Amino acid sequence: MRISRAEATANYVLLAVFAVLTLVPLLGVLLSAVTPEGELRVGFELPSRLSLGNFAQAWEQGGFSRYLVNSVLVAAGVVLLTGLLSTLAGFAFATMRFPGRSVLFYVVLLGLLLPVESFVIPLYHDLRGWGLTDTYWSLLLPQTAQSLAFGTFWMRNYFRSFPVSVLEAARLDGAGDRVLLWRVLVPNARPALATMGLLVAMWTWNEFLLPLVMISGEGWRTAPLGLAFFQGQHTTQVQLLAAAATIVALPIVVLYLFLQRRFIAGMLSGAVKG
C-alpha cells in the first residue's frame, strides 16, 4: 500500500506539530538554564551568550552534586537487588510446580498495582522505629519491593517464553536447577535483564513521594527531592532553577536518547507499574 505524497506531507506536518508541542516546555527549560543570570528572557529569544554559570552554581551551592550521587547509588542498588531477586523468583514461577504458586503470583501482581500512598504512611512509622529513616536503606528497600513486582512478572514472562525443549534437553544433560538458571537462562536473558534494569533505574530515579516521606536531612536527598526543595527556595531565580531541573533530568534523558527503542518497547509491553 502506498501513501500519496500529499498524505505523507500532511502526516509529517501533524507529527511535527505534536513534536514541537512536546519539546517546547523542555527546550524552554534548557534555554533558561544556559541564559546568563539576571538576563531577562522573553519567549524563545536566544540568550546573549551561552552561560554555564547556572549549572556551576546549582551543582555547588545548590548541593546537586550530593543529590546526584545519592540518586545514582540508590538507583544502582535498586536495579541490582531487583535484578537478582526477581531473576530467582521469576525462575521459580516460570519453571517449577509448587503449592500456592498461583496465589503467590497474584500477590506479586498486586504489588504491580499498589500506589505508594496505600502503604507509605505505616512504612514511615515502621522504618523510623527501626532507625532507618534518613538512610539509604529507607529508599533502597521499599523501592526494591515496589520494583520486584514488575521485575518478577517480567522475568517470569521471559523465562516462560524460553523454548521448553531447550530446558528439557539441558535437564537430560544432567543440568540441575542452578546450572539451568545461571548457565542457560540468564546468559540468554541479558537483553530482558537490561530492559528491566533501565525501566527500574528510571522509575527509581524519578520517584518523589517516597524520598519526600523518608528523608528529612539534606544529606540524603535524591535529585528530584533536592529539586523540589530548591524550587521552594529560589522561586524567582528562574535560570538557576532551570539549570537544576536540567541536571536532574539529564542522566535519564541521555540514557533514553541512546536506548530509546528499549525504553519504549519495555514501557509499551503493558508495563503497568504501581
Partner 1 sequence: MAVGNRALARERGGARSAPGRGPRPRRQWKAYLYLAPALAVLGVFLLYPLGQSVWISFFDWNGLSLATWVGLDNYVDIATDPRIRAAFGHALVLIVFFALLPVLLGLLLTAVMGRAARLRGLAFFRAVLFLPQVVASVVVATSWLAIYAPDGLLNQVLRAVGLEVAARSWLGDFGTALPAVGLVGSWVGTGLCLVLFLSGAAQVDRELYEAARLEGAGLLREFLAVTLPGIRGQIAVALTLTVVAALKTFDLVYVTTRGGPGDSTTVPAYLAYERAFQTNQVGSACAIGIVLALLILLVSLVIARVQPAEED
Site for partner 1, residues 53 to 82, rule: CB under 8 A: 81
| Minimum separation from the CB atom of position 56 to partner 1 (A) | 19
Q: Cα separations (Å) of 27 from 40, 46, 161, 241?
A: 16, 11, 41, 14
Between 9 and 28, how does the x/- string for binding to partner 1 read (CB under 8 A)? -xxx-xxx-xx-xxxxxx-x
State which of positions 81-110 bind partner 1 (CB under 8 A): 81, 84-86, 88-89, 91-93, 96-99, 101, 104, 107-108
Whose CA is closest to 87, among 21, 4, 175, 177?
A: 177
- Return the residue of 173, 191, 218, 219 that touches partner 1, per CB under 8 A: 173
CA–chain centroid gap for 45, Å, is 33
Q: Is residue 195 near partner 1 by the rule CB under 8 A?
A: no
Binding test (CB under 8 A) with partner 1, winner from 6, 49, 172, 190: 172
Find the helix packing angle between 137-161 and 64-95, rounded to 10°. Answer: 40
Q: How far is the CB of 249 from partner 1 (least distance, A)?
A: 4
CB atoms within 10 A of CB 226: 25
Minimum CB distance to partner 1, residue 44 (Å): 8
Amino acid making up residue 87:
T
Listing DSSP states for 63-75 in one string gives -HHHHHHHHHHHH
Closest CB to partner 1 among 65 and 231? 231
Which of 51, 135, 188, 237 binds partner 1 (CB under 8 A)? It is 188
Amino acid at 246: T
